[in-house]
Chains A and B, each alone.
Chain A
Amino acid sequence: AQSVTQPDIHITVSEGASLELRCNYSYGATPYLFWYVQSPGQGLQLLLKYFSGDTLVQGIKGFEAEFKRSQSSFNLRKPSVHWSDAAEYFCAVGAAGAQKLVFGQGTRLTINP
């Protein structure tokens, strides 16, 4: 069965600084990988996804993520964060042929002014 680990529960960065949120997955085949963002008391919004092809994927709001098969990782990056990026970020993995997603435990991002 697939699983997802987000090692960092809480990260604080200064506005304008770069950001990297870590995600490691466990799955026997090539996974479908996703990053979602959740604002307080809200549902989830898809930032980006990887299915195949170019391992560097671009998403909305200036985010990108890189799939590294050798490291079983799919880290999310942003070169310069904005105060509005403060939220909870979830990495998720889906198995080919399945319908459901398995989510990591989330990383809460705080932005210092």
Chain B
Amino acid sequence: GAVVSQHPSRVICKSGTSVKIECRSLDFQATTMFWYRQFPKKSLMLMATSNEGSKATYEQGVEKDKFLINHASLTLSTLTVTSAHPEDSSFYICSARGGQGFNTEAFFGQGTRLTVV
């Protein structure tokens, strides 16, 4: 299957700082990317959906000013957690799809473990 690379795999940052997570589709053009947050022993919660060149669509309850998503190219999307706090500590996973609809498989990155201290 296609490869989605997420970087970094782990990051520790101080409270109040910002951290950027990258999600790259290595061998296909990702027209749509998804960002999820996964709490320990919990399911994946969709944070936002982004289409290349458009503003991201955020799920209800997700602060768009806190979780900045950029999908400037067909192979790269970034999630920036601004002014991070300990409660933002979580496992963040991106997913990328090369076409519209579920007939095109969405591939997942390996995730980023964010710890805010």
Tally A residues with Cβ within 8 Å of B.
22
Contacts of A90 in B (CB 8 A): 43-44
B34 to nearest A CB, angstroms?
7
Within 8 A of A (CB), among B66-117: 91, 93, 95, 97, 100-103, 105-106, 108-111, 113
Contacts of B113 in A (CB 8 A): 41
A58 to nearest B CB, angstroms?
16
Chain A residue with the shortest CB-CB distance to B111: A43
Chain A 32-50 near chain B by CB (<8 Å), digits 1 or 0: 1000100001111110010
Interface residue SS majority, chain A? strand
| Interface CB pairs A-B, < 8 A, 15 | A9-B41, A41-B91, A43-B6, A43-B95, A43-B109, A46-B1, A46-B105, A90-B43, A99-B32, A100-B46, A101-B46, A103-B43, A103-B44, A106-B41, A106-B43
B residues neighboring A (CB under 8 Å)? 1, 4, 6, 9, 32, 34, 41-44, 46, 49, 91, 93, 95, 97, 100-103, 105-106, 108-111, 113
Given A9-B41, A102-B46, A103-B44, 7 additional A-B pairs, CB 8 A: A41-B9, A44-B108, A46-B1, A49-B102, A51-B103, A94-B102, A99-B49
